[in-house]
Every structure is written in C-alpha cells, then in structure tokens.
Amino acid sequence: MAISKTARPRTATIPATMKAAAIDRFGPPSALKLHTLPTPKPGRGQVLVALHTAGVGIWDASIRDGSWRPNGRPKFPLVPGTDGAGTVAAKGPGVRRFRIGERVLANDSGCYAEYVALDADGVGRVPQRLDFKQAGAVATTGLTALQGIDALRLRRSQTVLIYGASGAVGTLAVQFAKAKRARVLATASGREAATLVRRLGADAVIDARSKSAVEQLRKLAPDGIDAALVLTGGDSLEGCLDLVRAGGRIAYPNGVEPEPRRRPKIRLFAYDGEAGPREFAQLARAIDGARLRVPIAAVYPLAQAAKAHARLERGHVVGRIELQIRRGQG
Ligand SMILES: NC(=O)c1ccc[n+]([C@@H]2O[C@H](COP(=O)([O-])OP(=O)(O)OC[C@H]3O[C@@H](n4cnc5c(N)ncnc54)[C@H](OP(=O)(O)O)[C@@H]3O)[C@@H](O)[C@H]2O)c1
C-alpha cells in the first residue's frame, strides 16, 4: 500500500489538562487531593509518558509531609511519585531512543498523574514479561534492589542476609540474590510476609523483631555471613551485622535509618538507585534472568492517593502499594 508523504502515525490526542494527585502544602495523607493541572509538554530530550500505574514508595510520604525535600524549595501544587509505567505519548526534540506508543518505565518525580514529562534518560523499556501492574512498581525499587545486590559482588553459594526483605525493595532483592545462586537469609515479620519471602526464593526467614533473631541467624550461618543488604533499621540489626565475616560487604540505600555502624575489615556502602539507559538495560536483563515477580500489596485509583498513603503509614506493607491511573494491563 502506498503511503502518502503527508501521512502521520496515529497517536492519541493529548488533552490540555490532566488529573493528578498533588499537594498544595506539606501535610498528612489527606493533603493529597485530586487536581486538574495543565498537561506537561516535553522539552528537548524529554518524553511525555501517559501513565497507567504509579508505585507508592515509603519515601513519597516523606516528600508529602516535607521531611525530605530532594528538589530544594518546593513548587506547589507538587505531584509526588518517583516511578510508574505507561506509554510514550509524545517526544520533545532530540529524542531518538523511544517510539510513540512504546511501553516504558518512568523513574523521576511527578508520576501520580495521567501524564509526566521526563528526561529520556529517566525512562526505560518495560521488559516483555511485566504487565503495567507489575511494571509500575519496579523502576525505583528494582534499580535499588539490583544495584544493592550487585554492590555485594555475591558469588555462587555465598550467604547473604537481606534485612527488611518483605518490603518493596526487599522482595525484589531476594529474587536478584537468588538469581546469583546465593544462599539467601531474609528477615520478615508475620506469617504472610514470611511465606511470601520464602516463595520468592529465600532459603530461610527469621523475624528480625524476635528476641532470638541474632541467635537464629548464628545457627543458620555458624561460619558467618558473606554479605548483607540492609533495608531498615531495627533492634536486632547491629547484632545481625556482627555476624558478617571479615572481608565481607554491607550495602544500604540512602534513607535507611539509623545507618549501619562501620566495622573494621568490612566494606560498608551507602548508595542511591541510579537510573540511565545502561541501568535500565541491566534491570531489564536482571528481570528476565530472575523471572522477577513484583508483589503488589494493594492497588488504589489515582483519586484515592490519600487512602494509599494512609495505608502506607499504617506500616507492614508486604510488597508495594500502587496507584491505577488508566485501565488496561499493557
Ligand atoms: N536511596 C535510594 O535510592 C532508595 C531507593 C528506594 C528505597 N530507599 C530506602 O530503602 C529503604 C527500604 O525501602 P522499601 O521501599 O523497601 O521500604 P518498605 O517497603 O517500607 O520495607 C521496609 C522493610 O523493613 C521492615 N522493617 C521495618 N521496620 C522494621 C523493624 N523495626 N525491624 C525489622 N524490620 C523492619 C519491614 O517489615 P515490616 O512490614 O514487618 O515492618 C519491611 O520488610 C527505605 O529506607 C527507603 O527510603 C532508598
């Protein structure tokens, strides 16, 4: 069929305004309200993503209440949300890496919205095996889990402790560590969390809050543990980390408090999950290699972002909370 020179690929019309869950002031979960805002326009090097889902992270609560201000002086209305999944709706000048309509992961701020304009480097392709429900909850946490496990340089059969394994980062880190054929010892509280973490591949699960946590870990690893990924503070944390052998490694993403103590002869790494074309490609390979499952604890419509944050603040979320923005599983 001949295509006329003036033919253009068909793209959905982009409305002038969009719905977003935003705050007009720092505050409790109820500060998050549904707004109608101008749809952002992608600038040079940016893509406009039509979001289907957005992950709700524990750090989003700190942005909402103002206790963490990563971008300095806030501009209200402020749309939280550091990750989501959707399709490329438009491209600014100079973007060649993505096609209109392509399924993408978004990793930057402003994802509690129907559209977000992001630098193309903050966008990655959605791996084939993930639908939008799983993909919306994998960018920030997947990059953080993978880069933490990579920093530990695990070798086959080495023993790694994942402290805080039932949360958003931990559930993915367990699977990435198993993909490296490590022996994974994990902490999780309660039957549901322990069962999930075992199903994801942990070889043994202990309750970090139990008085005997350190003893249990010592019995599981009488010669010491080779490495630890720390995803939370906790009363038993330092006792557990005392079991890391000389020459071993401990990694934790910035945000974990209190920070683990330094120890002689043990490498301690604090890091941030980094995004970029290389990192997204590594994540996609690791997701396939681990046949990653992304546990979703609860899904709320965008209009109920305040309820999602109230649930987050009650704690003990097993996996990740998510917002559904558009219908369709991608
Ligand atoms: N710098 C970065 O790039 C970056 C990126 C992502 C995340 N982070 C940080 O990484 C950390 C983990 O994030 P996340 O999203 O996985 O958090 P999360 O979903 O809240 O998970 C936290 C985990 O820690 C456990 N936990 C909490 N308090 C505990 C205690 N007192 N004793 C033992 N276990 C406890 C939780 O289990 P229970 O449910 O039993 O409490 C859960 O398994 C956070 O500090 C976050 O800010 C940093």
In ligand 1, the atom with minimum distance to the C-alpha of 272 is 3
11: pLDDT confidence band, cut at 50, 70 and 90? low
Considering only residues 243 and 70, tell me which one the structure prediction assigns the higher pLDDT: 243
The answer to whether residue 330 scores a pLDDT higher than 70 is no
Query: What single DSSP character describes residue 24?
Result: S
Q: How far is CA 234 from CA 34, 188, 258, in A?
A: 36, 12, 8
The answer to whether residue 328 scores a pLDDT higher than 80 is no
- Which tens digits make up the pLDDT trace of 177-186? 999 999 999 9
What residues line ligand 1, using a CB cutoff of 6 Å? 57-59, 140-141, 144, 164-170, 187, 189, 193, 208-209, 231-232, 234, 253-256, 272-273, 315-317
Q: Please, what is the average pLDDT of the chain? A: 95
- Which tens digits make up the pLDDT trace of 303-317? 999 999 999 999 999
Distance 255 CA to ligand 1 centre (A): 9
**In 10 A of CB 28, how many CB atoms?**
13
12: pLDDT confidence band, cut at 50, 70 and 90? low
Domains of the chain (ranges, CATH numbers): 17-138+294-324 (3.90.180.10), 142-271 (3.40.50.720)
Q: How far is CA 131 from CA 16, 190, 197, 199, 282, in A?
A: 28, 29, 21, 20, 19
Substitution site in 232, 309, 318 for ligand 1 pocket (most atoms within 8 Å of beta carbon): 232
In ligand 1, the atom with minimum distance to the C-alpha of 165 is 43
Which range has the worst mean pLDDT, 8-12, 16-20, 97-101, 258-262?
A: 8-12
The answer to whether residue 18 scores a pLDDT higher than 90 is yes
What pLDDT does 58 receive?
A: 96
**In 10 A of CB 233, how many CB atoms?**
15
What pLDDT does 319 receive?
A: 97
The answer to whether residue 288 scores a pLDDT higher than 60 is yes
- pTM of the complete model beyond 0.75: yes
Distance 256 CA to ligand 1 centre (A): 7
What pLDDT does 71 receive?
A: 83
- Which tens digits make up the pLDDT trace of 237-248? 999 999 999 999
